[in-house]
Amino acid sequence: MPPAGARSSGLKRPGDEVYGLGVGPARKQNRPDPLTHHGRHFGRTVQTFCRVQLLIKTGLEQTIQMELGRMTLEDLSASEKADHNIYQQLLRMVPGLEERLCTSSNHDLFYVADTLSKGIASSRSDDTKSLKSVVVDWITPLNGVLVPPISRNVKTDRGYHHPRTGELLCPVNLDWNDPKIRRDLSSGQLVPSGDLWPRFIFRGYEYVPSEPWQGLLRSSLLVSAYKHVFTSPSSVGAQNCSASRATRSSNARIHGMQSVTIASIAYIATQVRFALSSTPVFSRNDNVTDSEFFYNLVIELLEDPEETVEVQDLLLWWNKQIFPTYLADYRPVHQDSVIAKIKERRRMLLQQADKEAVAAEQNGGSTSNPSP
């Protein structure tokens, strides 16, 4: 017989839960702070090399000074305006963040910045890890093999040590077919900085010196990586991202992302550049890959007001690749459409009204000032 007080039915006492391999009280799962969630998206789409604590501290101080009338946006330098714009994007991305920052202690401000930073770092690390493997498939010839083969999990045989990755990474101002260039790149005697852009970012991996915008940031490799990160791995190669076999919500859908951002294009280009390299660990301070300089230069070009026409065309192209249902504000309509006819009629009525107003003014002037 069981001891007195024992239960022979085998039922557990209230509060007893099987946990792991033992029996004990149920544990509450620690749910991640929503700030981490927002930080992940912020790093991918706004600024991945952001020093969040400094950004928040400076942005908050500037906002207070502006509200007190002691400073205007025009008082900021170009770089300060860019940072302030990033700060404003962060506030728009995280609901209630502005109010929280304005009422927080220094300790809470540090917690907010640290949590956002962890989100940025975790998404970057996740993407670095996943792209390291799949990029091998994307650069392998269709129905062919890479010679020599490239390991999916170890990067030592990539970069300028392999003919395929070396060709893709080779700066467009250098000739990969030159044996000396190959030797110098492979040995590390020649280390391209972040402003010497690689061939893989151009469509068809072809660069036209006389037309540097031609095909820039439009390579199939970049599109595959963008889909892998933002829509779903299964959407890579699909003509329509919405028709992919993904069973989980994509990063874009989770965050309500409906169009590409300049920073997200720069982010993907930076990630692919690193995935092709032989450098094992992603670091903003790595002088070999020079990732931060490369990333910032891409953003600088795409945010240059003098390049607006080319950039708008590039963004429209990207949105068609990633978000098939995207409709740009400036998308032209057919001249024989109903809306075009309505607008044309309105223009004609306004023109007629203007003519009548001018005629009436002229007639009134001649009546009030008769000739002597």
pLDDT of residue 238: 57
Distances (CA, A) of 173 to 196, 197, 212: 7, 8, 11
Which residues does residue 171 pair with via DSSP β-bridges, in sequence order? 198
pLDDT for 296:
97
- Most trustworthy range by pLDDT among 2-6, 99-103, 231-235: 99-103
Using the predicted structure, report yes or no on whether residue 252 has a pLDDT greater than 90.
no
Give which of 327, 272, 254, 350 is closest to 34, Cα–Cα.
254
More confident residue, 262 or 368: 262
Please tell me what DSSP assigns to residue 280: S
Q: What is the pLDDT of residue 21?
A: 41
Confidence band, pLDDT 50/70/90 cuts, at residue 12: very low
Alpha-carbon distance of 88 to 73, in angstroms, equals 12
Model pLDDT, residue 358:
86
| Sign of the Cα pseudo-torsion (65, 67, 68, 74, in order) | positive
pTM of the full structure: 0.78
Greatest extent of the chain over all pairs of C-alpha atoms, in Å = 134
- Residue 19: its pLDDT value, please? 36
Q: CA dihedral defined by 19, 22, 24, 30, rounded to 10 degrees?
A: -30
CA atoms 347, 348, 350, 355: torsion sign: positive
The fraction of the chain above a pLDDT of 70, given in percent, is: 83
What is the residue-wise DSSP string for 140-178?
SPTT---SS---SS--TT-GGGSHHHHHHHSBTTS-TT-
Q: How far apart are CA 90 and CA 53, in angstroms?
A: 12
Whole-angstrom Cα distance, residue 223 to residue 241?
A: 11
Distance of alpha carbon 354 from alpha carbon 290, whole angstroms: 60
Per-chain mean pLDDT for the chain: 87
pLDDT at 8 over 80: no
The tally of CA atoms less than 13 A away on the side-chain side of residue 235 is 26
Task: Over range 17-22, report the average pLDDT.
Answer: 40
Residue type, 349: L
Backbone dihedral region for residue 321 (phi beyond 0: left; psi -120 to 50: alpha; all else: beta): alpha
**Encoded amino acid at 167, one letter:** E
Residue 224 has pLDDT above 50, yes or no: yes
Contact yes or no for 235/227 (Cβ under 8 A): yes
Q: Which amino acid is at 206?
A: E
The pLDDT value recorded for residue 10 is 45
Q: Are 168 and 200 in contact (CB under 8 A)?
A: yes
Amino acid 243: pLDDT: 46
**pLDDT tens per residue across span 177-214:** 999 999 999 999 999 999 999 999 999 999 999 999 99
Would you place residue 367 in the very low, low, confident or very high pLDDT band (cuts 50, 70, 90)? Answer: low
- The rounded distance, in Å, linking the Cα atoms of 270 and 259 is 19
Confidence of residue 29 (pLDDT cuts 50, 70, 90): low
Position 368 confidence tier, pLDDT thresholds 50, 70, 90: low
Question: How confident is the model at residue 232, as a pLDDT?
Answer: 74
Chain segment 290-308, per-residue pLDDT in tens: 999 999 999 999 999 999 9
CA dihedral 69, 75, 77, 78 (to 10 degrees): 90
Q: Give 242 or 96, the one with higher predicted confidence.
A: 96
Share of the chain above pLDDT 90, in %: 70
Cα separation, 7 vs 203, in Å, equals 73
| Confidence check: pLDDT of 370 > 90 | no
Q: Name the band, by pLDDT with cuts 50, 70 and 90, for residue 149.
A: very high
* Cα radius of gyration rounded to whole Å, the chain: 29
Asked if pLDDT for residue 322 goes beyond 70, the answer is yes
- Domain regions of the chain by residue span: 34-118, 140-322
**Sign, CA torsion 298/299/300/302:** positive
Q: pLDDT-derived band of residue 17, with 50, 70 and 90 as boundaries?
A: very low
The predicted-structure confidence for 237-251, as pLDDT tens digits, reads as follows 655 554 445 445 566
Beta partners for residue 23, in sequence order: 18
Whether residue 59 has pLDDT greater than 70: yes
pLDDT tens profile 103-132: 989 999 999 999 999 999 999 999 999 999
